[in-house]
Amino acid sequence: GLGVHVAVNLSARSLRDPLLVESVRGALEEAGVAPECLTLEITEGELVNDGPTAQQALQRLHQLGVQISIDDFGTGYSSLGYLKRFPVDSVKIDRSFVDGLGTDAEDSAIVAAVISLGHALGLQVVAEGVETEQQLAELAALGCDFAQGFLFAPPQPAPDVADIVMRGRRRR
């Protein structure tokens, strides 16, 4: 494999597709990517709305070895029960909370709480929308596992990502 981890947003409509699991399995095989190198991200609102259908689909994807992440954590339905019901590997702290990190006491408290909760449940925690060194330092101090945002790189078109990966691979 390429040693690359890919995250893909999953819509509620995709979750209801009976061919989803086979499509994902086929795409992984065709690309030569190990299932654990793929994270499927779904917002908590879509999880709560779809209940049993989502649960079955995510269980099957998880059995395949794919990682499951809750996107925009804390902005949706605030029912923490789904963290027990669904096979979740990680949560992503929404950028709206990361934005005030270190300057807004409430945002800082929410970020700290999400990181503590995630770790207590054995989940990895990803902060999105990181734009400043101060935010990154605060996240590191709080023990956040991963961060993404403009501080590192703007969003890239797929062909550019492939070029970056191949350049990195050739350098090794």
Query: What single letter denotes the amino acid at residue 60?
Result: R
- Percentage of the chain beyond pLDDT 70 is 88
Find the helix or strand (DSSP H, E) in which 69 lies: strand 67-73
Taking 70 as the threshold, does the pLDDT of residue 11 lie above it?
yes
Residue with the larger pLDDT of the pair 29 and 48: 29
Euclidean distance between CA atoms 106 and 27, whole angstroms: 42
Q: pTM for the full model?
A: 0.83
Taking 50 as the threshold, does the pLDDT of residue 40 lie above it?
yes
pLDDT band with cut points at 50, 70 and 90 for residue 1:
very low
